[in-house]
Amino acid sequence: MAKATKKVAKKKVVAKKVTKKATTTKKVVKKVTKKAPAKSKPAPKKVSSKVTKLKVGDSAPDFTLLDQNGKSVSLHDFKGKKVVVYFYPKAMTPGCTVQACEIRNSESKLKSAHIVVLGISADPVKSLKKFEEKEKLNFSLLSDPEKKVIQSYGAWGLKKFMGREFEGILRQSFLIDSEGKIVQIMEKVDTKTHHDDILGFFKNH
């Protein structure tokens, strides 16, 4: 009987130890859970929604940006000349390449009409240089990585592609007269006829 009583006592002690360990484990799990809450993914950065909406007759906002050669170019450098400021989504993409090459091919006609062309995108200077060299472009490509000029002209907004909506650079052109006034805003640009549309407008105005 004494041996049986000792065995029962040992079992009770073992059971208590197991229970204590289980309780301790639960407490540790709870502490870990409290210390490591689920991290929420940071929201994607958005470009400022303060986009200017320009209209014909407004003075074209002045700017200074780096061109494909790293040289500073300002709009006021061309006072007294007709200027085309055109915004495009991305260098070396299909539509933007067609548009740029057609402007390149129209160099003599544009010069004869005293028209200066400035292409603006958010691409870095390096990418613009590659674009120039690859397509043998002959006009200024300006880099606006912070999109400040793009927004000041209202060339930033909601776009749709393949059923997806997103914010991005709008393909738009602003035609500016010799006095620095906006005389035409092309909100729907045809990349294949853009050069002719520019020449046609200035010829008739």
Could you confirm whether 101 is annotated as catalytic? no
CA–CA dist 48, 83 (Å, integer): 27
Residue (of 154, 91, 101, 75) closest to 124 by Cα position: 91
Q: Given the residues 65, 75, 84, 96, select the one marked as catalytic.
A: 96
CA distance 4 to 164: 77
79 Cβ partners below 8 Å, 6+ apart? 178, 180
Q: Residue 72 and residue 70: Cα distance in Å, rounded?
A: 7
Residue 162, classed as helix, strand or coil, is coil
Which of 169, 145, 149 lies closest to 159 in space, CA to CA? 169
Q: Which of 143, 101, 151, 103 is nearest to 121 (CA)?
A: 143
Among all residues, which ones are annotated catalytic?
Answer: 96
